[in-house]
Amino acid sequence: MPRQVFQFDDPERFVAGTVGQPGERTFFLQASDRGRTTSVALEKVQVAALAERVDELLNELRRRGDDAVPAQAPIELEDVAPLETPLLEDFRVGTLALAWEPEGRRLVIEAHAQTDADEPVEPLSDDAVEGPDVLRVSMTAERARAFTKRAMRVVAAGRPPCPLCGLPLDPEGHICPRQNGHRH
């Protein structure tokens, strides 16, 4: 089937966010620009890994002497607003990829739709007619830092960890391995 490529070059907004209560949240990446919004669902661990990798890449660029990459997100780019509604899931993410375009001084993030195929997805691929749908976002290092800051905050806003085992605590507690299967 023909793929859809949702392309956003330096969008007005690119954020990670959630819907639902801690323990039952659905995570999204959402890109918005000029009245067009694309929302893709993904797992919490994918959001955390993406934020960590973006942060690592930007830190490595700074370590190599790229002074144009900020150490922190500029305050004016901080985004604490909720996800745009109505929230319509365009697809569920299977594979994430990122790259730095040195000539354009842009970070590129791709989120490929989950597939049933055994064939690996070519990340940061050309715009082939066939293949999984893809959200492709290109942004400045400043916007990437702002994305990372919010994504890390969203991931951390979940259920608090059990002080004994570190697993997430539900409001009614949980069966703790450190308590021999008793509720904590």
At 182, the pLDDT band (50, 70, 90 cuts) reads low
Q: How far apart are CA 17 and CA 80, in angstroms?
A: 10
Q: Mean pLDDT across the stretch 114-119? A: 73
Is residue 184 domain-resident? no
pLDDT at 126: 58
**Average pLDDT for residues 84-109, to the nearest whole number?**
94
| Domain total of the chain | 1
Give the mean pLDDT of the chain.
Answer: 88
Q: ∠ CA 146-156-15 to the nearest 5 degrees?
A: 35
pLDDT value, residue 163: 80
Higher-confidence residue of 58 and 178: namely 58
Domain CATH number, residue 93 = 3.30.2450
Q: Which residues contact 52 (CB under 8 A, 6 or more apart)?
A: none
Against a cut of 0.95, is the pTM above it?
A: no
- Is 90 exceeded by the pLDDT of residue 104? no
The domain containing residue 90 runs over which residues? 5-179
